[in-house]
């Protein structure tokens, strides 16, 4: 039981490290993909990554059966926004250029992905507490 709880709490950190590592390794890659397709790919990747991140966070925080309250959700979405800002700063630093419109779109998609992840996590059947 303790191992499962520890793993459940460590997974969001492992995912976040992987997310930032991939961002660092791919931020300066050049691609010949059509700009529309490239933007679709970026939106899909950001939304999926943040949905997974915050489904893992919700499972770590609320895995014992407690449903998140509105305040919890607002705090977690604000956290998603802060993580997204950190990721955009990392990308801007590595590229040595800021793309404001793209960054705002990415942040919007990050928070929407996090909301999706929280929603999915809230739909999971609750675990039964040990007696």
In this structure, are residues 38 and 102 in contact, taking their beta carbons and an 8 Å threshold? no
In this structure, are residues 23 and 53 in contact, taking their beta carbons and an 8 Å threshold? no
Residue 130's Cα: distance from chain center in Å? 30
Instruction: Label residue 74 exposed, middle or buried (CB < 10 Å: 0-12, 13-18, 19+).
Output: exposed
In this structure, are residues 66 and 128 in contact, taking their beta carbons and an 8 Å threshold? no
Give the residue extent of every domain in the chain: 2-16+34-123
What distance in Å separates the CA atoms of residue 114 and residue 91, rounded to the nearest whole number? 20
pLDDT 10s digits, 15-41: 989 988 888 888 777 778 888 888 888
pLDDT-derived band at 112, boundaries 50, 70, 90: very high
The mean per-residue pLDDT over the stretch 56-73 comes to 83
Q: Is the pLDDT of residue 66 over 80?
A: no
Question: Rounded to two decimals, what is the model's pTM?
Answer: 0.81
């Amino acid at each position: 039981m303790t191992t499962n709880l520890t793993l459940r709490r460590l997974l969001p950190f492992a995912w976040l490290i992987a997310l930032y590592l991939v961002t660092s390794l791919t931020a300066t890659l050049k691609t010949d993909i059509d700009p529309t397709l490239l933007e679709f790919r970026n939106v899909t990747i950001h939304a999926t990554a943040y949905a997974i991140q915050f489904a893992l966070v919700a499972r770590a925080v609320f895995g014992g059966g407690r449903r998140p309250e509105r305040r919890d959700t607002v705090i977690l979405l604000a956290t998603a926004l802060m993580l997204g800002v950190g990721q955009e700063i990392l990308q801007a630093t590595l590229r040595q250029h800021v793309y404001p419109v793209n960054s705002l779109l990415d942040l919007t998609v990050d928070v929407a992905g996090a909301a999706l992840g929280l929603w999915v996590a809230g739909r999971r059947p609750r675990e039964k507490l040990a007696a």
